[in-house]
Every structure is written in structure tokens, then in C-alpha cells.
Chain A
Amino acid sequence: MAEEDAMFDPTLIKKKKKKKTAFDIDAALAEGSGDAIENVNNSISNNVADDNKEEDIDDNVDIDLDFSKKKKKKKKPFNMEELESTLPDGKDKEDSALDNITNQDDSIMDDNFDLDFSKTKKKKKKKKDLDELIAEADDKQDDKENVEDSTVSWTGSDRDYTYDELLNRVFEIMRDKNPDMVAGKKQKFVMRPPQVVKIGTKKTSFANFTEICKTLHRQPKHLLDFLLAELGTSGSVDGNSQLIIKGRFQQKQIENVLRRYIKEYVTCHTCRSPDTILQKDTRLFFLQCETCGSRCSVTSIKSGFQAVTAKRAAIRAKTS
């Protein structure tokens, strides 16, 4: 800006020349009439004058802030647009004036943003201390920052609020009022991993089977039925309360099946809380939730079609 102020006249001329060259192509493409170019030239001079005025004002407004580079970039496209729309001088003036206003608004908005950042950061710290929320991903934090910025950003301005902003505001108020709300964050369901050990080549032992049954508050028989039906094998609980399954299975495979069991028979289908009771009512299993009170039926365990995997000769020998 300082440069432009110092070299006031030369820039005027230079700008004109540049714009002419840039514009000639457009004009040729659009209309190619000489009159239009003349009009445009007039408008250019007006624009440039306005720009310079505007810069002066800006200089007065924000000396410390380095928006100068940004603004230059911003202005150029505006001017180009005006050039392209070959309008009479009066209108162009109005447009440029409007641009001036918008630019100034931008600068003011930027100021607001800068101020808000400091505020939001403080807020965040406080919140963290209060809630002691752990394990939130960095992306989420970034999102939160953005959200808070957006929520605060419209306090000063007169513009209409967007739906997202209002929604975020509501949720933030809700979280502030009752920090231990279940719906707000996912309650983590911590479980010990199943200990799966190979026994020989054909059998697998699930060592902490009864322990897992206890943590899930389910009958061992029910979980056993489910596991055997899903895996399509046979098995039984032995003396030291471990499950022996026929076939070779790895820990992650058992984990997968357990996860499916928990999803279907342990967590509430409505509110996903693990605080549920499984009841048997007239041959059907019902899942009763202790937190939300919902009650829904769950699918019965069926092993379905089982193909013959053993040697047929052996089966024949057994039956006969």
C-alpha cells in the first residue's frame, strides 16, 4: 500500500495498460465494439480511483494488521468482473462502492475472528478441566474449534443464522447444562479380550468363557449356543469352566463373533446401553433395557443348515 501511495500516478497508468491488454481479448470475444472498450476504460479510471481511496481508508483502519496482500488479491478479481460486465459509468461506481463496503466488512470480520480465537481457546480449556473428557480425536477438536468460531461469529453480525450453527448451539448448551448426559457421548463398553488357546490340532480352548459371560450378564448356555451356531461346530464347557470348541479358531475370529453377540443380545437396540436383561417369554427371547426401559424381541439362535463335514463312512459305521 505504501508503495502505491508513493507512486500514485504511475500505477494509474500501468494499471490501465495492463487491464486494457487483459480486457481486449474478452471484449473481442464478447462484442468487440470500440465503444464498449472506451466505456470500460472510463470505468477503469473510476475503479482505480476508488481503489486508491479505499486503500487510504484501509490504511487508516488497520495499520498493524497485514491484510494488504490479501486485499490486493481480492480486489483484482472484483475489477475484472466489473470490466467484463460492460456497464455504464454510474453503475460501475456503485458497484465499486459496494465492493469497498464489502471489503471493509471483510476486514472487520477478520478482526472479530482474531478476537474470538482467543476467547474460544480459553473456553475450551475450561471445559476440558470441567468435564475431563479424554480421548477425543484431533479432527474432532478441530471441528469443535470451527463450530465454536461459527457459533460466536454471528453474535456481532446481523446476518441470518444457518441451521448448522443453531444446531451446534443447542447441543453445546445441552452439554453445558448436564455434563454427564449419556446421549451426548458414546459410553464405552470395556471388555477383556477372549483368551483363545489351541489344544492340539483339532480343538480350541476359550479359557475365560465364564468370566466373559459374567461381564455380559448372560447365561453361559445362551452364549454357548450362539457361539456354536455361528461357528458351525460343536463344543462344551469342561471342568475348569473353559469352553472347548471343535475346530481351529483364532482370537480375532472369536472376538468377531462375540462382537456380533453383544450387538444383537447385549446392547439395547434403542439406546445402545449395555445395561439390559434377557428374558425368555413364551419361547421368545426379549431384551429389556434398564436405562431407557425399552423392550424388544431378539432373533432366536438357529444353527440352520449344516453340511456334512465328517466322513460319511464313519457316520454310517456309527449309526449301524
Chain B
Amino acid sequence: MSIQNLQTFDPFADANKGADDDVQDGLVHIRIQQRNGRKTLTTVQGLSSDYDLKKIVRACKKEFACNGTVIEHPEYGEVLQLQGDQRENICQWLTKAGLAKPDQLKVHGF
């Protein structure tokens, strides 16, 4: 029987993982706002400015079948704005496209 405590463990595994070149740093805040009636609005704040937000919004509009825009904000930079409750969709899409990691996404709202 082998001693289980002495199994090989790479102490630099995390360091290696963090070193790869991903552009996204910091959290992506995904919020929801209520509009009149049952209507809602989803905002995505904090995506890296290296990404082309216009292209992202174009892809999202097609994927989720909703309208959306990019809004320039003096404090928060470019913010994605999509019509309807797209929180689940945008989370899955961002991770699938490799734009952000699941632990970088922060979903707000109810």
C-alpha cells in the first residue's frame, strides 16, 4: 500500500494556470433592471476594453434573439445593454466563447 500523504503534488499548478494570456481581468457584473410591466433590461458591466463590444453585442443579439446596444459611460466604460432577462444566457455565452471565466462573472439582482 502506498502512503497517500506522499502523493506528488505540484505546488505551482495555480501559478501556471494564472499565467496564460487572458485579456479579461476583474469582475463582470451582470445586472437586471425592471422596466414598465413585465419588461426587464440586462446590463453587462466590466468587460475588458480590449474586446470589441460592438461585435459581442451583434453576436448576442443574434444568439438570444433580443435587441441590445453598447453604452458609453464616463465611469464604467462601455456597458452592454440587452433587452429582457438575459442573465443566464449571457453567463453561458461568455464562458462558452472564452471571454470570461465563470468565477469572474458576478450576477446581481433577484
Residue of A nearest to B75 (CB): A305
What 1/0 mask marks residues of chain B from 75 to 96 whose CB sits below 8 Å from any chain A CB?
Answer: 0100101000000000000000
CB distance from A292 to the nearest CB of B (A): 25
Q: Is A319 part of the contact surface with B, judged by Cβ < 8 Å? A: no
Nearest A residue to B46, CB-CB: A304
Are B73 and A256 neighbours in the complex by a CB distance under 8 Å? Answer: no
In the complex, what's the smallest C-beta–C-beta distance from A119 to chain B, in angstroms?
A: 27
Inter-chain contact B110/A257, CB cutoff 8 Å: yes
Q: Which of A163, A231, A250, A307 contacts B4 (CB 8 A)?
A: A163
- Expressed in whole angstroms, the Cα–Cα distance for A307 and B44 within the complex equals 11
The total of chain A residues at the interface (CB under 8 A) is 21
Q: How far is the CB of A134 from chain B (nearest CB, A)?
A: 32
Q: Are A247 and B31 in contact (CB under 8 A)?
A: no
Q: Are A254 and B110 in contact (CB under 8 A)?
A: yes
The answer to whether A309 and B34 touch across the interface, beta carbons within 8 angstroms, is: yes
Residue contact A232 to B109, C-beta cutoff 8 Å: yes
B59 → A minimal CB distance (Å): 20
Question: Which residue of B4, B34, B73 is within 8 Å of A247 (Cβ)?
Answer: B34
Interface residues of chain A: helix, strand, loop or mixed (majority): loop
Greatest chain B CB density within 10 A among A163, A253, A306 is at A306
Give the shortest distance, in Å, between A229 (CB) and chain B (any CB).
8
CB distance from A222 to the nearest CB of B (A): 17
8 Å CB interface, A232-258 against B? 232-233, 247-250, 253-254, 256-257
**Chain B count of residues within 8 A CB distance of the other chain:** 21
**Residues in B35-54 with C-beta less than 8 Å from chain A:** 35-36, 41, 43, 45
Contact among A162, A229, A253, A306 for B110, CB-based, below 8 A: A253
Whether A160 sits at the interface, judged by CB under 8 Å, is yes
Complex Cα gap A249–B110 (Å): 8
The residue that A256 contacts in the complex, of B5, B41, B110, with Cβ under 8 A, is: B110
Bound-state Cα–Cα, A249 to B33, Å: 12
Give chain B residues whose Cβ lies under 8 Å from the Cβ of A304: 29, 31, 43, 45, 76, 108
Does B33 lie within 8 Å of A232, measured CB to CB?
yes
Contact B81 A307 (CB under 8 A): yes
Task: Note all chain A residues with C-beta closer than 8 A to B76.
Answer: 304-305
Q: Say if the beta carbon of B1 comes within 8 Å of chain A.
A: yes
Contact with B along A115-151 (1 / 0, CB 8 A): 0000000000000000000000000000000000000
- CA distance in complex: A84, B53 (Å): 67
Where the two chains meet, the residues of B that have a C-beta atom closer than 8 Å to any C-beta of A are 1, 4-5, 29, 31-36, 41, 43, 45, 71, 73, 76, 79, 81, 108-110
- Counting from the closest, the 9 A-B pairs by CB-CB distance are A253-B110, A247-B34, A232-B33, A305-B45, A163-B4, A305-B76, A305-B79, A309-B35, A160-B1
Please list the residues of chain A having a beta carbon within 8 angstroms of any beta carbon in chain B. Answer: 160, 162-163, 229-233, 247-250, 253-254, 256-257, 304-307, 309
